[in-house]
Structure 1
Amino acid sequence: MSHPENDPEIQREEPFESHCVIELSAKCQEELVNWLIQRIMAPKSVGGAELVVRPVRDIATNHYRYLHVCAPFYRQMEIAEWLEMTKPDLSNHGALKAFTVKTLTKFVTDCKRQI
């Protein structure tokens, strides 16, 4: 199994904004942590969450201690749709409508899409 900190998929996105930090027990075996990272990062098509992970090791022990998790913009939008969130429609005087990824341009300006 590849080591997550050497994985180009983890390193590819800068800047990285943590949306969630998972603190790991000092007793977690590296094999388990690697499996967890792969599951979080795996595509949805194979049962993964399709998120970005940055593992952090403890300086003293060199064991994984934290996993910083980030959702790319497209995943945030898919999650908003899944949660059935409503948002003001930019093309209809701000009327609240159910958000869908298919109608993204009615809800999100080009500027926000680049964030």
Structure 2
Amino acid sequence: MSKELLGISAIALMIIGEACIIYGELAAARLAVAVSRDWRDVLLLAGFACFSGLCLLLAYALGYRATGNIWLVAVVSVLVLLICEPLLIWMLFHEVPGRGALVGFVLGALGLAATVWL
């Protein structure tokens, strides 16, 4: 398999894995405030977490194999988190960040940008 195809596969798996685990975490938070709690919901989220973990393990392995640089793979992972998590929070909870959370988010994005470009 070519390095380009490995890299694309790694990014796709990373997006799927990160999105699934973030969704699972947010669904668990929403489930915590639900009136009725069913163990089937918890088991479904646990299965979802296992699937996302496998996706992330494969993504890191393929990404490292494609690039030979684990730091680049880690930065891509954080970048995917930085993009996916706010979108999923807004889609599930329909909330926008407060002032403090927004400042923290912007500083985190600037730190990531500094890591990539410096």
Instruction: Answer 1 or 2: which has greater strand percent.
Output: 1
**Structure 1 and Structure 2 fold alike (TM over 0.5):** no
TM-score between the two structures when normalised by the length of structure 2: 0.26
Structure with bigger RCO (C-alpha 8 Å, 6+ apart): 2
Higher helix share: 2
Q: TM-score, normalised by structure 1?
A: 0.26
